């Protein structure tokens, strides 16, 4: 058996995230599942740690960023395990505790990944400390991002945005929204751009929150834009409409899809761990020296789920590692998202079945993890969309050629 171990720095990050999940997230997981829309007050301290506020804290953060830039320059041409790899390792461990609570940590939103991926140095300086959500989905547009109807037009030195966005994770709690909008509907996906919109921008209206099957600790909002105005330089990437390209907006998915895959990995691991613990009390012991043909049906099923889980984990780490090392990873990002999303759904539901009444009861968290895992196969692109992207890459087909 090949054992691909994490290097010491990533292992330290993994252990720290697991400690947070175990001590902070897991004890309040059920509480905020039952109290949907209530803000997890226990997480406020994490926002203070992550987001510098005083002048001295901001100077220290800037000094750390300069050190990081210098380190990145030294690492040019070298193989590195950077922020993306560390991020998926840490996210998986935190989601072992609770996905909804991980998504509720102040200052860490999906929109921050977009800013990190395609913002200019000046924009990163201006918005690097914000708490940014991502607004893509619309009432009539889901997986087909090219069909976005929210518009942005340039008037003088401002962009004017009109439209409605739904299913925005952290849409109420964030202070900034990264909004996908089209500059010219007739130009197709090439005209889709993303914009940094502060929550206090004139014309931005918070509509309400969704009631959900899972991730109930996380807020999911609807926001309307009615002649919402933002400065001209709040566009991420170039305003040029270049045919055959999504501009810089799709680079966001190359970073966020491995992150969502890591969420599914964390939930699936939690389910596997508790299932093994519950089954051991019933006399079901795993013996990895035995092959599946000499094991019970339950043992064989657990072995298969462990193997599927590890395959998803390794695919996810690879996609993040490629991003850290400036390698094109669009196909790998879709591969890990598709694999982890499907595996996460299967494992959490199968664990409910294997544990019978204990799995279905709210006495344990298995039923909650099964509910939480479903969305992880849907948002950031459904299973079907991911497989379509992989097929296009493998067959060297465009989106027009393979639909």
Considering the candidates 5, 155, 380, 401, report the single residue annotated as catalytic. Answer: 380
Which class for 206: exposed (0-12), middle (13-18), buried (19 or more C-beta within 10 A)?
A: middle
Do the Cβ atoms of 331 and 338 come closer than 8 Å? no
Angle, helix 330-354 to helix 297-324, in steps of 10 degrees: 160
CA distance 137 to 222: 10
Instruction: Kindly state the DSSP code that residue 143 receives in the 8-state scheme.
Output: S
Is 5 in the active site?
A: no
Task: Compute the Cα dihedral for 343, 349, 354, 359 and give only its sign.
Answer: positive
Q: Checking phi first, is residue 191 left (phi over 0); if not, alpha (psi -120 to 50) or beta?
A: alpha
- Rounded to the nearest 10°, the torsion over CA 93, 96, 100, 101 is -60
CA distance to 105, 134, 152, 196, per residue, from 232 (Å): 30, 19, 11, 10
CA distance 244 to 250: 12
| Rounded-to-integer distance, Cα 193 and Cα 190, Å | 8
**Catalytic residue positions, numbered:** 380
């Amino acid at each position: 058996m090949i054992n691909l171990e994490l290097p010491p720095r990533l292992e330290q990050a993994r252990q720290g995230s697991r400690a947070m999940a175990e001590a902070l997230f897991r004890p309040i997981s059920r509480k905020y599942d039952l109290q949907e829309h209530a803000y997890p007050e226990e997480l406020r301290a994490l926002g203070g740690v992550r987001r510098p506020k005083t002048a001295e804290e901001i100077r220290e953060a800037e000094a750390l960023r300069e050190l990081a830039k210098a380190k990145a320059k030294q690492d040019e041409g070298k193989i590195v395990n950077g922020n993306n790899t560390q991020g998926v390792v840490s996210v998986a461990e935190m989601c072992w505790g609770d996905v909804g609570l991980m998504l509720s940590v102040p200052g860490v939103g999906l929109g921050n990944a977009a800013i990190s991926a395609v913002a200019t140095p000046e924009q990163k300086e201006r918005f690097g400390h914000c708490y940014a959500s991502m607004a893509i989905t619309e009432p009539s547009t889901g997986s087909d991002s090219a069909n976005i109807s929210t518009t942005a037009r340039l008037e003088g030195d401002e962009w004017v945005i009109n439209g409605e966005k739904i299913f925005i994770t952290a849409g109420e709690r964030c202070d900034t929204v990264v909004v996908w909008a089209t500059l010219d509907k007739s130009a197709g996906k090439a005209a889709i751009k993303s914009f940094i919109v502060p929550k206090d921008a004139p014309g931005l209206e918070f509509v309400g929150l969704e009631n959900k099957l899972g991730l109930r600790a996380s807020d999911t909002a609807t926001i309307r834009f009615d002649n919402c105005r933002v400065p001209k330089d709040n566009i991420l990437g170039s305003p040029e409409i270049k045919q055959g390209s999504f501009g810089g907006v799709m680079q966001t998915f190359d970073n966020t899809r491995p992150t969502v895959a890591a969420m599914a990995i964390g939930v699936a691991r939690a389910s596997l761990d508790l299932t093994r613990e519950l089954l051991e009390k019933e006399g079901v012991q795993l013996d990895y020296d035995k092959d599946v043909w000499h094991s019970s049906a339950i043992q064989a099923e657990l072995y298969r789920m462990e193997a599927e889980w590890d395959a998803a984990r390794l695919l996810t780490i690879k996609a993040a590692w490629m991003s850290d090392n400036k390698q094109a990873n669009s196909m790998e990002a879709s591969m890990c998202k598709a694999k982890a999303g499907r595996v996460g759904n299967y494992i959490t539901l199968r664990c409910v079945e294997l544990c019978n009444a204990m799995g279905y009861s709210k006495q344990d968290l298995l039923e909650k993890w099964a509910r939480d895992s479903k969305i992880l196969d849907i948002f950031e692109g459904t299973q079907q969309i991911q497989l379509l992207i992989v097929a296009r890459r493998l067959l060297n087909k465009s989106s027009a050629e393979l639909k």
